Amino acid sequence: MTLPPADRRRIRETLDAVRDVAIPLTLLFYGRLFELDPSARRLFHNDIARQGQKLLDTLTALADSLDDFDAMRPRLIDLGRRHAEYGVRSNQYETMITAFVWALGHALGADFDQTTRDAWRMMLTEVSHVMQAGGGPSPGSSHAH
């Protein structure tokens, strides 16, 4: 991942800032996700708060590995494979990014400026590409990623 050092710092600082509101943040995120894509609700069979903790644990691991993103690739590819098995479609990744960035913006308010928003979107887009590679070829694609 080619995030500049300042963007990596912004992502880490954002995660530190939301730790105290992790549960409300994840509830905002999943609420927005289900609003944008009602079909996504069927993908979640367990407690949303527990799922939210898994999400934050993964994001923390990502933030910790931003200086060596390749170390996270195998984990993300495996995560993508599991998400594909659960029925996550490739077009749902963009909806997830939109919902999560929206939730961060609501949780942080004025502290979530455009530069920080762009850094998060760039990181999450790269992560989604790696995860989708683990899920196999995209619909309509003639080759595996």
Q: Tell me the C-alpha distance between 123 and 1, whole Å.
A: 8
Buried b (16+ CB within 10 A) or exposed e, 64-84: ebbeebeebbebbbebbeebb
User: Residue 140: is it exposed, middle or buried by C-beta count within 10 angstroms (0-12/13-18/19+)?
Assistant: exposed
Q: Give whole-number Cα distances, 76 to 7, 27, 29, 131, in Å.
A: 20, 23, 20, 5
Provide the whole-model pTM: 0.83
pLDDT of residue 143: 35
Residue 26 CB neighbour total at 10 angstroms: 23
Q: For the chain, which residues make up each domain, given as ranges?
A: 5-134
Residue 3's nearest CA partner among 104, 144, 127, 137 is 127
C-beta separation of 1 from 117 below 8 A: no
pLDDT, position 89: 83
Please, are residues 68 and 3 in contact by the beta-carbon 8 Å criterion? Answer: no
Task: Say how far apart CA 83 and CA 78 lie, in whole Å.
Answer: 9
Across the chain, what does the average pLDDT equal?
85
Q: What is the reported pLDDT for 12?
A: 93
Over the chain (145 residues), the average pLDDT of each successive run of 10 is 88 89 88 91 76 84 89 89 83 91 92 93 92 66 35
CATH topology of domain 5-134: Globin-like (1.10.490)
